[in-house]
Amino acid sequence: MKKIDSTYLKKKINKLNKKIHRAEKQGDENKIWWRKMKLGKLKDRLLKISA
């Protein structure tokens, strides 16, 4: 099983932010909505790990 640490989560958050910005340029609201939900979950996880 993959070890989930802060560096791994930061990398995932960065990739997801790039995907969100790309979808905003394309105007795909559905993808933006789902990715922002996932982004929130990742940020919460990162806060729990760093706390």
The yes-or-no verdict on residue 1 having pLDDT over 90 is no
CA-to-CA dists, residue 12 to 15, 21, 27, 40, angstroms: 5, 14, 22, 12
pLDDT value at position 31?
93
pLDDT value at position 9?
95
Better-scored residue on pLDDT, 30 or 2: 30
Q: Encode pLDDT of 13-51 as tens digits.
A: 999 999 999 999 999 999 999 999 999 999 999 999 987
pTM given for the model: 0.84
